[in-house]
């Protein structure tokens, strides 16, 4: 696998990019080494007699192309053809650019678990310490990945998102005959959540998940809805009575925020109370570390209507309305900055790639691209504009790759993703 790149001497061959300074040529060589190290764990699924193209060349072109906006196999091939002269500077390419069918066949049969492991280990080189950070966990269905003829349902994945660093920390496939409840504990096993705040919607509000978070020395904020009918009804009735009395004589923490924008004005009110003030709370000992209960009221004034929403939360944090309100608000970051971006910028839901392992492998490549684009801070534009510039400007693509693939990797390449 490590022979997938040929490190070509810049002294023996005149570069087709003479305008690049020597520092950037050195970066290209470092990128070669880091990509080899990152993907060394991936075994080539092809039989020996069919191997015309190096696997690492295929992976590198696919990653570069998706960062530049490619959405399918033909896009990846067209990117390679368009950038062939530049790619030949640091890829082997013994038979030129692979065809779209080659990309398709390779990603159909690459082990998705191996690719996901390499993704997770690569993310470890990007993130700083997550202690105290808010980490939303949520599921996403890749809607176009179903195959009706094969009786195959759409791929559903659970994602952990770093709200501060704007990175996908890890992801886990939900088995076809299972749900998020079983996938979330497995996802948590991949993360160091010490002192972090995990936020999960109602599907993940389970005693086993709360126990797992506490065991891993994290904290949780879990949405409480009617899937726990007795507890939900009891908490709702208590807050209704307390609100009617204006929380008189109750140890309550309160915060209000008003935000305006996009023809909308939202008023958010947060009340949190220790569980000790709610008499005879339904089976509180089942929830490991439970300390507080929260009510959030959101009133949205739109141009044509006003809506009011009330939600309740269970948390292992102390009663602090300001902190809890921020954590609850940050949970939407995974929807707005990750899931929405994958759908609208990367066109993930519209993608009809669905054969064998290709939907899952392509989902990992999209998340590599999303993280890489978010890691590049100098170009203050939208991700879509960053992708367009990466497609047009090879130097900028090098800058993106350098910002996420070179940090720490040269010091740890010997131990990274060993086969």
Q: What is the pLDDT of residues 272-296, one digit of tens each?
A: 999 999 988 999 999 999 999 999 9
- The tens digit of pLDDT for each residue in 179-197 reads 899 999 999 999 999 999 9
29: confidence class by pLDDT, cuts 50, 70, 90: low
Model-wide pTM > 0.85: yes
Residues sharing a CB contact under 8 Å with residue 113, sequence separation 6 or more, in sequence order: none
Q: For a pLDDT cut of 70, what percent of the chain falls above it? A: 89
Q: What confidence tier does 241 reach under pLDDT thresholds 50, 70, 90?
A: very high
Cβ 40 vs Cβ 115: under 8 Å: no
Residue 73 pLDDT exceeds 70:
yes
For residues 140 and 156, the answer to whether their CB atoms sit within 8 Å is yes
Q: Average the pLDDT over 204-220 and give the result.
A: 97
Average pLDDT over the chain, rounded to an integer: 89
Cβ(238)–Cβ(232) below 8 Å: no
- CB proximity list for 233: less than 8 A, separation 6 or greater: none
Report pLDDT for 250. 95
Return the pLDDT at 407: 52
The pLDDT tens digits of the residues spanning 243-252 come to 999 999 999 9
Task: Provide the pLDDT for residue 133.
Answer: 92
Residues 6+ apart with CB under 8 A from 360: 112, 116, 155, 157, 173
pLDDT reported for residue 27: 61
Alpha-carbon Rg of the chain, whole angstroms? 24
Q: Reply yes or no on whether the pLDDT at 4 is more than 60.
A: no
Is the pLDDT score of 24 beyond 60?
no
Compute the average pLDDT of residues 210-224.
98
Of 2-16, 41-55, 135-149, least confident by mean pLDDT is 2-16
């Amino acid at each position: 696998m490590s022979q997938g790149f040929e490190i070509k001497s810049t002294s023996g061959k005149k570069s087709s990019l003479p305008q690049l300074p020597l520092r950037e040529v050195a970066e290209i060589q470092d990128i070669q080494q880091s990509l080899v190290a990152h993907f060394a764990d991936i075994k080539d699924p092809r039989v020996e007699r069919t191997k015309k193209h190096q696997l690492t060349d295929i992976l590198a072109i696919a990653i570069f192309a998706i960062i530049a906006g490619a959405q399918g196999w033909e896009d990846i091939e067209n990117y390679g053809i368009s950038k062939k002269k530049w790619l030949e500077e640091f890829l082997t390419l013994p038979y030129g650019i692979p065809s779209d069918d080659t990309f398709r066949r390779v990603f159909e049969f690459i082990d998705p678990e191996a690719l996901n492991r390499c993704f997770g280990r690569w993310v470890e080189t990007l993130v700083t310490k997550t202690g105290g950070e808010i980490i939303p966990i949520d599921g996403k269905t890749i809607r176009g990945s179903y195959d009706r003829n094969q009786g195959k349902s759409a791929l559903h994945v659970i994602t952990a998102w770093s709200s501060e660093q704007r990175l996908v920390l890890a992801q886990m496939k939900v088995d076809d005959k299972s749900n998020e409840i079983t996938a979330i504990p497995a996802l948590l096993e991949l993360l160091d959540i010490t002192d972090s705040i995990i936020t999960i919607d109602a599907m993940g509000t389970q005693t086993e998940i709360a126990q797992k978070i506490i065991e891993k020395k994290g904290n949780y904020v879990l949405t409480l809805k009617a899937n726990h009918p007795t507890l939900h009804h009891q908490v709702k009735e208590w807050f209704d009575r307390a609100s009617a009395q204006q929380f008189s004589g109750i140890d309550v923490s309160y915060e209000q925020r008003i935000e305006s924008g996009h023809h909308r004005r939202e008023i958010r009110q947060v009340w949190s109370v220790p569980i000790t003030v709610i008499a005879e709370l339904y089976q509180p000992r089942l929830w490991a570390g439970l300390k507080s209960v929260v009510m959030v009221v959101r009133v949205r004034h739109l141009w044509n209507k006003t809506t009011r929403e009330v939600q309740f939360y269970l948390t292992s944090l102390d009663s602090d309305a300001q902190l809890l309100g921020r954590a609850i608000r940050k949970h939407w970051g995974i929807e707005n900055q990750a899931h929405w971006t994958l759908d609208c910028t990367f066109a993930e839901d519209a993608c009809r790639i669905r054969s064998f392992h290709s939907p899952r492998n392509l989902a990992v490549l999209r998340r590599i691209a999303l993280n890489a684009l978010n890691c590049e801070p100098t170009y203050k534009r939208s991700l879509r504009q960053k992708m367009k510039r990466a497609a047009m400007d090879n130097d900028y693509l090098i800058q993106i790759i350098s910002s996420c693939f070179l940090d720490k990797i040269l010091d740890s390449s010997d131990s990274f993703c060993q086969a």
